[in-house]
């Protein structure tokens, strides 16, 4: 089998917390710890988890906006350097953010926004207008948009412009970080359908980050569940959402009305998300876990294959030892 489009091994990104006049590093926010995942060509991998679990840090590390402390990133089997990347590699992975109003420079027209990166990389083969027009058509907008500014558009249109901007460099992978979360439900569906169409047309892969399980269920082939900077469960979307193995995934999904069981069977997650600067010992989920055992307080859980799913939980190590 050929190498995955993107593979990540043991990726760890911590933010230093500095104190005092010498700005000494006293602790770290452990935003991303030992994350391993793979995205195949043409695949959409969803990332779900509560706010603060490290989803954005994962995306930012993959596009080179954060420098990881440890781990390896491979694009089609070739190691991606962690620091400044060669332009050709930079173009391969693009990112779309939740708030297009903040991501799009308000002083630039759509024409500039869609062509500045191409011009920078020396990749403009046609006129700027012709290039921008094609990109606008790809995202369902017309030429009337060319000489307008981002504030003149609705939220959904602005997100289409962000998509066009990401497409301009013909990337292989687009990281969508809560890309539809700020939009009304009907507009959300339109943008999701657009992303699906573009995936077919340009054989794109997506890393689709969202706190909304329903959105991820709609768009993702596989899904990875994050808790306190770690992936706790991963597998085909229908398996993970239909029969979640990790107690955290079970709690997360049972809290979603449209997917979870009826209200009486819901088991909402108690307690607060612990601070990622002082994650609990053992399994980081053990203080909130309804199935926690003695071992969960001290030992990090092993990652175990359960059918097509992978789950990091001591509950399943018993199955392993009895095999």
Ligand X SMILES: Nc1ncnc2c1ncn2[C@@H]1O[C@H](COP(=O)(O)OP(=O)(O)O)[C@@H](O)[C@H]1O
**Selected range binding Mg ion among 55-63, 122-130, 145-153, 287-295, rule: CB under 5 A:** 55-63
Give the angle 28-29-34 at the CA atoms, nearest 5°: 95
- Select the residue interacting with ligand X from 6, 8, 11, 29 (CB under 6 A): 29
> DSSP characters for 157-194?
HHHHHHHHHHHTT--SEEEEESTTTTS-HHHHHHHHHH
Cβ contact 181:211 at 8 Å: yes
Give the interface size with ligand X as a residue count (CB under 6 A).
12
Q: 73-107 as b/e, with b when 16 or more CB fall inside 10 Å?
A: bbbeeeebebeebeeeebbbbbbbbbbbeebbeee
Which of ligand X, Mg ion, none lies near 4, with the C-beta cut-off 5 to 8 A by kind? none
Residue 52 binds ligand X, judged by CB under 6 A: yes
Q: Which stretch binds ligand X (CB under 6 A): 52-60, 72-80, 114-122, 192-200?
A: 52-60
Look at the block and give the residue holding tokens 């990749």: 123
Q: Which residue is nearest to Mg ion (CB)?
A: 56
Q: Is 56 in the site for Mg ion (CB under 5 A)?
A: yes
53 binds, among ligand X, Mg ion, none (CB under 5 to 8 A by kind): ligand X
* Closer residue to ligand X in complex, CB, 56/115: 56
Sole binder of ligand X in the list 6, 11, 31, 283 (CB under 6 A):
31
Identify whether the C-beta of residue 253 lies closer than 8 Å to the C-beta of residue 245. Answer: no
Among residues 12, 55, 244, 260, the one that binds ligand X under rule CB under 6 A: 55
Q: Which residues contact 208 (CB under 8 A, 6 or more apart)?
A: 44, 45, 46, 47, 176, 179, 215, 216, 219, 220
Nearest to 195 by CA among 214, 224, 175, 211: 175
DSSP assigned state of 36? E
- Residue 228 Cβ vs ligand X, minimum distance, rounded to whole Å: 9
Of 47-55, 90-98, 159-167, 198-206: span binding ligand X (CB under 6 A): 47-55
d(CA 139, CA 133): 10
Q: Which of the stretches 51-59, 74-82, 128-136, 157-165 binds Mg ion when contact is defined by CB under 5 A?
A: 51-59
Nearest CB to Mg ion, comparing residues 111 and 225: 225
Q: Which residue ranges make up the site for ligand X (CB under 6 A)?
A: 15, 29, 31, 49, 51-57, 276
């Amino acid at each position: 089998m050929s190498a995955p489009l993107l593979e990540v091994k043991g990726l760890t990104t911590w933010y230093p917390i500095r104190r005092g006049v010498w700005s000494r590093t006293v602790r770290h926010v452990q935003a991303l710890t030992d994350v391993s995942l793979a995205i195949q060509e043409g695949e959409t991998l969803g990332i779900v988890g509560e706010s603060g679990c490290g989803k954005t840090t994962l995306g930012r590390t993959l596009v080179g906006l954060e420098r990881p402390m440890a781990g390896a990133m491979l694009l089609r089997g070739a190691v991606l350097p962690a620091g400044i990347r060669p332009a050709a590699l930079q173009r391969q992975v693009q990112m779309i953010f939740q708030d297009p109003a903040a991501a799009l420079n308000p002083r630039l027209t759509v024409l500039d926004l869609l062509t500045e990166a191409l011009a920078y990389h020396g990749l403009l083969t046609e006129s700027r207008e012709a290039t921008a027009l094609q990109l606008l058509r790809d995202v369902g907008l017309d030429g009337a948009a060319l000489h307008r500014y981002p504030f003149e558009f609705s939220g959904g249109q602005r997100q289409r412009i962000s998509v066009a901007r990401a497409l301009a460099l013909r990337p292989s992978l687009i990281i969508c970080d809560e890309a539809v979360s700020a939009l009304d439900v009907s507009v959300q569906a339109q943008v999701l359908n657009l992303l699906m169409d573009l995936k077919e047309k340009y054989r794109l892969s997506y890393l689709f980050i969202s706190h909304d399980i329903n959105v991820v269920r709609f768009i993702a082939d596989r899904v990875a569940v994050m808790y306190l900077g770690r992936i706790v469960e991963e597998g085909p979307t229908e398996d993970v959402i239909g029969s979640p193995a990790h107690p955290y995934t079970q709690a997360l999904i049972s809290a979603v009305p449209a997917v979870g069981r009826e209200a009486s069977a819901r088991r909402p997650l108690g307690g607060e998300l612990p601070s990622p600067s002082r994650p609990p010992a053992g399994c980081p989920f053990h203080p909130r876990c309804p199935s926690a055992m003695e071992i969960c307080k001290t030992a990090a859980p092993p990652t175990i294959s359960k059918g097509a799913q992978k789950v990091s939980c001591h509950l399943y190590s018993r199955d392993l030892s009895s095999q």
